[in-house]
Structure 1
Amino acid sequence: MSKIVELKRRRAELSAKVAEMAALETAGEVMSAEQIEQINAMHAEFNQLGAQLQRLEAAEQMQAAAAAQVENLDSQGVSQEGKLHAQPAGPKVAGAGVAHLAMALIEAQGNYQAAANIADQRGYGAEVAAALNTATPSAGGVLVPTNLASEVIELLRPKTVVRRLGARSLPLNNGNLTIPRLKGGAQVGYIGTDTDAPVTGAQFDDLKLSSKKMAALVPISNDLLANSGISPNVDRVVVDDLTSAVGAREDKAFLRDDGSGNLPKGLRNWVLPGNVFPAPTIATIDAAALQAIELFLNTLILALEGVDANMVQPGWVMSPRTFRFLEGLRDMKGNKVYLELAQKQLKGYPVGLTTQIPNNLGAGGDESELYFADFADCFIGEDQALMIDFSKEATYKDGDGNVISAFQRDQTLIRVIAKHDFGPRHRESIAIGIGVKWGK
């Protein structure tokens, strides 16, 4: 096991122990002199480990940065000794560090030290080489450091509806995050002479997020990987495949997962029962139908406005079928009813489309849902690191449930593990329409 990983694990243990003992004192328990001495000793060890970590990490980065380029290359870019050379710098691809880490690991067949050497020789950068040099040989794969993983996490924003509409990302501390919220307002009023002032007592509650592990499997063609390091377009394809797979599963979790077992709880299961409204059935498009649709949309908006929701970044989420119905809706004179949908706006608020809201709900298997929420009031607690592993022999299921052999297809299966959780600070900031059969 890497020395750096051991030190980080020990620091995390010390931090947890100190927090546990501090919680006892906060609860009113008087700490003994021996306990205080233990805390002081742990503080000292924590600081000592921090200094040691800083030295080791600096040494790893220097080692990776000092990798010498190979000279005397032939026309194929290979030296007479058969070594790879650093490729000329091309356009920077956001998230390429994670793609390079995965490709170097695959090319080295899981040998971390060899992968680090490949990263050096191909010019993948000191950060990638350092991450591989400090990797822990385990079934969990390679821990992608924060500086590389943050690029990939940021790339998820345009690919996931919930992030793009304004959900706020916060780091998880030791796998947990608690966000206080105002549950009931203070009582305020005017009083006369000799009249008691109203009791002022705001009620508070907590939104508690805890780490949930998500694994995304991404099949990559071995023919494509054979060209790694030659073209930045290969980096873009790998990064796009990684972020698309993670993003699709995130949207499903943050929208519709029920919170059971190891799943996060999505908006559909956070919403208050009183904020769930059945959609009107539209048989023919006439004036009455248009009025019913308008009233339904206003009902969803008023569900938030009626409880003084902050309405900082409200937005809609719907399936493509629902969007196409509304976008093509015309009045009795042939004019489009919602012209702004061409700019992905509905009644002044942004619209997100996702196939993660299904069209096969309900008893008849033909219903969908329509979401309206203040996404600035929604929080994603996430670990700022990712884990990457690979296999050339594993099997996986495609979108139709068919079992696919990576070996038989000449593919490499990359597994990305992310840890996060999701929740709204105020459940009143969500309204959902159900039974939407429009456009079926």
Structure 2
Amino acid sequence: MSKVLQLRSERAQLNTELQALAKLEADGTSLNAEQLAKFGELEAQINTLSDKISRAESAERAAASSAVPVNEGAQGITSPPGSRVEGPYNQPTKPDVAMAQMVRLLVQAQGNQQQAAELAKANGFGADVHMALSTVTPGAGGTLVPENFSSGVIESLRPKSVVRRMGAVSLPLNNGNMTLPRINGNTSVSYIGTEQDIPLTEMTFADLKLSAKKAAAIVPISNDLLAFSGVNPRVDALVSSDLATSMGLSEDLHFIRGPGVDPLPKGLRYWAPAGHIVAQPAGVTLADVDTFLGGLMLRLEVANVDLAACGWIMHPRTIRWLQSLRDGNGNKAYPEIDAGLLKGYKWALTTQIPTNLGAGGNESEIYFVNFADCYIGEVEQLAIAISTEASYKDGEGNVVSAFQRDQTLIRVVSKHDFGPRHVESIAIGTGVTWGAGM
């Protein structure tokens, strides 16, 4: 068994134990101190193994790329020319890495696809990368990335986008549109006596309509990094990570708070029904906080929402304040936060939830959502465009010249839409000022 498979097997066993503890709490059983400690220990071990697996995979890719082909068959007999495939074409490239390699090659070829294809062949890149560059057709949004590469990039967004990571379901948008029927009103079931007619009931339905909306993320990358020629797993991983991070942040910004005004998708904030939007109470006692959080959960419970895939998303300021909250005896009010849970449900952080809302400019929001009921419809093809002269705005709104910084700007264009199948699956706490003075 390879080292990677061995590590994956160990991680799977630890994950089974962790899921068993999580199920106990999901079923209503409070975890004791020993179980909470075990949960945290398992989580740390899983993270450590994930890091080891990543390094082991990188080592295997490096070993494969540096392997020297031999001319002997299994029996020591020299194989005739052309009877087998040699060189860099033995192993397919991981889709997200393949896109990063396409970007580097296109930059080196100054956007010339055929020249980039020749560079791929000459510098030991995979046959799939060479073929993609040889056959793709430029589009209005830039060079089209093959669908098999794009799907890998989209999958790599899962750890980068908090909405995806929390369990939102990804679906392909055929022809750019999709309609999902949903049950809007349940049938009623009643008991009847002997020889009584069964009463007629009907379900009522509504539709969730998803239509492709164009999103673009601009990723500045150092020319020193892009200048590396040939296959380099570390460089490709960095480029791939930068692309995924920028796309993930762009998605979260709109999937959480997009107003839904064309051409923007509608985010959770504007899908939530009015009765599921709850203002933070004026008091900040532990009882006030607990009632507020419980009230958000109650909105979903009384709507008969399946709570199994529910979770919280909030700004880091909010969770750190809750993490430091103490009861009258000096004990942590929510010790389970250290184990990744809040009131029995997983939580995740994102800076895409603002902290400058409200009249005072210091308010934020907290979301409790059934993410399994949220859908991302996406066209599984990306387009990339490259510029060394364009400018962009940094995180503070300053205009930066890529030419002056010796950077290359990669623009990634994707098409997708977002929406919940049942709007009752969303509850939002507004006016949250917890931690504003931290």
Q: Which amino acid aligns with 2:412?
A: V
* Distance in 2 of aligned mates of 1:211 and 1:91: 30
Structure 1: where are the runs of 5+ without partners? 1-68, 70-85, 284-288
Between the two proteins, the alignment pairs up a number of residues equal to: 352
How big is each residue's C-alpha offset from its partner over 1:102-157, in whole Å with a ceiling of 9 and x where there is no partner?
A: 11111111111111111112222122222211222444211111211122111111
Alignment of 1:14-413 (within 5 A): 95-192=96-193, 196-229=197-230, 231-282=232-283, 289-413=285-409
Q: Which residue of 2 aligns with 1:24?
A: none
How big is each residue's C-alpha offset from its partner over 1:182-239, in whole Å with a ceiling of 9 and x where there is no partner?
A: 0111122123456553321100111110001000000111111112435321111111
Q: Which residue of 2 aligns with 1:423?
A: 419
Query: Compared with structure 1, are the counterparts of its residues 161 and 378 closer, same or farther at alpha carbon in structure 2 (3 Å cutoff)?
Result: same
Q: CA deviation at 1:281?
A: 2.9
Backbone CA RMSD of aligned residues:
2.1
Q: CA deviation at 1:91?
A: 12
Alpha carbons 1:330, 1:336 under 8 Å: kept: yes
How big is each residue's C-alpha offset from its partner over 1:76-124, in whole Å with a ceiling of 9 and x where there is no partner?
A: xxxxxxxxxx889999766110000011111111111111111112222
Q: Secondary structure at the match of 2:308?
A: coil
Alpha carbons 1:255, 1:267 under 8 Å: kept: yes
Q: Secondary structure at the match of 1:95?
A: helix
Greater shift, 125-134 or 407-416, is seen at: 125-134
Query: Compared with structure 1, are the counterparts of its residues 386 and 88 closer, same or farther at alpha carbon in structure 2 (3 Å cutoff)?
Result: closer
Greater shift, 360-369 or 128-137, is seen at: 128-137
Alpha carbons 2:173, 2:212 under 8 Å: kept: yes
Alpha carbons 2:365, 2:432 under 8 Å: kept: yes
Query: Compared with structure 1, are the counterparts of its residues 180 and 90 closer, same or farther at alpha carbon in structure 2 (3 Å cutoff)?
Result: closer
Where in structure 1 do 4 or more consecutive aligned residues deviate above 4 Å? 86-94, 193-196
Q: Secondary structure at the match of 2:307?
A: coil
Q: CA deviation at 1:178?
A: 1.0
Q: Which residue of 1 aligns with 2:429?
A: 433
Query: Compared with structure 1, are the counterparts of its residues 201 and 392 closer, same or farther at alpha carbon in structure 2 (3 Å cutoff)?
Result: same
* Distance in 2 of aligned mates of 1:229 and 1:120: 10
Alpha carbons 2:315, 2:352 under 8 Å: kept: yes
User: Identity of aligned pairs, percent?
Assistant: 56
* Distance in 2 of aligned mates of 1:290 and 1:91: 55
Alpha carbons 1:87, 1:230 under 8 Å: kept: no
Q: Secondary structure at the match of 2:403?
A: coil
TM-score between both structures, scaled by the size of structure 1: 0.77
Query: Compared with structure 1, are the counterparts of its residues 333 and 149 closer, same or farther at alpha carbon in structure 2 (3 Å cutoff)?
Result: same
Q: Which amino acid aligns with 1:141?
A: G
* Distance in 1 of aligned mates of 2:319 and 2:214: 32
* Distance in 1 of aligned mates of 2:399 and 2:88: 38
Alpha carbons 1:276, 1:432 under 8 Å: kept: yes
* Distance in 1 of aligned mates of 2:179 and 2:89: 47
Q: Which residue of 1 aligns with 2:45?
A: none
TM-score between both structures, scaled by the size of structure 2: 0.77
* Distance in 1 of aligned mates of 2:427 and 2:201: 30
Q: Which amino acid aligns with 1:246?
A: M
How big is each residue's C-alpha offset from its partner over 1:257-276, in whole Å with a ceiling of 9 and x where there is no partner?
A: 01102111000000000001
* Distance in 2 of aligned mates of 1:92 and 1:136: 20
* Distance in 2 of aligned mates of 1:410 and 1:167: 38
Q: CA deviation at 1:241?
A: 0.7
Query: Compared with structure 1, are the counterparts of its residues 240 and 90 closer, same or farther at alpha carbon in structure 2 (3 Å cutoff)?
Result: farther
Alpha carbons 1:218, 1:245 under 8 Å: kept: yes
